[in-house]
Amino acid sequence: MPQEQAQRRTQEERRETTRRAILDATLVCLGRLGYAGTSIGEVVKEAGVSRGAIFHHYPSKLDLAAAAITDFYEQRFERLKQRLILEGGRDLTLPKRLAIFREDIDAWSPVGFEIMIATRTDPDLRREYLRRVEPRTAEMVETYERMFPEFGKLESPELMIGVVGAFLRGLTLEGSDGPPDRADRLFALFANMVAKSV
């Protein structure tokens, strides 16, 4: 019996390793090719797995892309939660926590922007992604409010978190084509404004 359990665990680990390789490869393809250019064939090449392995886990490109996008945002959210809650990040000043949020958005922006475009231009993908993420929405909002407890004083903490996210995404674009220090100066001004508003 223990040998069967060990073997089953090994099979489960192999399945998880394959699934992880497929999701990671899908994100690479989305970032490089966009949703329209990403195909099962491209993911097969990137992941080094067979088409059968992909279809075993995901029956269509839509399912594959929605799973990869959901996984991408969940991993990003967990990393941010680790830094801003579990590692004592709440003890940092508000501008320092906003700077960590900014670093996170900058790090994922190339893939993140392609995902945003895909979910805005393909209604089926957007619906499938929202269906998958909906069960965790309330938990995510509550966690963001724990990351930024100062926003609890406002009429709508959730809306302020949205404002911060929107600004930081825009700042990433601004930083890509402006003078090197412009994005930093804009961020400092924004962080100061946010701190004064709460």
Fill in the DSSP letter of residue 48: T
pLDDT by residue for the chain (198 residues), tens digit each? 555 555 566 888 988 999 999 999 999 999 999 999 999 999 999 999 999 999 999 999 999 999 999 999 999 999 999 999 888 777 899 999 999 999 999 988 888 899 999 999 999 999 999 999 999 888 988 999 999 999 988 888 999 999 999 999 999 888 777 787 899 999 999 999 999 988
Which residue stretches of the chain are H helix? 2-37, 40-47, 51-57, 61-81, 94-121, 123-133, 137-147, 157-177, 182-197
Output the pTM of the full model. 0.83
179 C-beta neighbours (distance < 10 Å), count: 9
Axis crossing angle, helix 61-81 with helix 94-121, rounded to the nearest 10: 180
* CATH code, residues 2-197: 1.10.357.10
Q: How many residues does the chain have?
A: 198
- For 62, the token pair is 């839509």
CA distances to 23, 34, 71, 142, 157 from 91, rounded to whole Å, are 34, 39, 28, 18, 19
- What's the pLDDT at 4? 59
With tokens 């501008």, the residue in question is: 95
Q: What are the structural domain ranges in the chain?
A: 2-197
State the pLDDT at residue 93. 92
Taking CA atoms, 196 is separated from 95, 150, 160, 164, 175, in Å, by 11, 11, 13, 14, 24
Contact 28/66 with Cβ under 8 angstroms? no
In Å, how far are 31, 143, 189 from 86, measured between CA atoms? 30, 11, 28
- Cα atoms in the 13 Å half-sphere on the side-chain side of 18: 17
In a 3-state reduction of DSSP, which class is residue 50?
A: coil
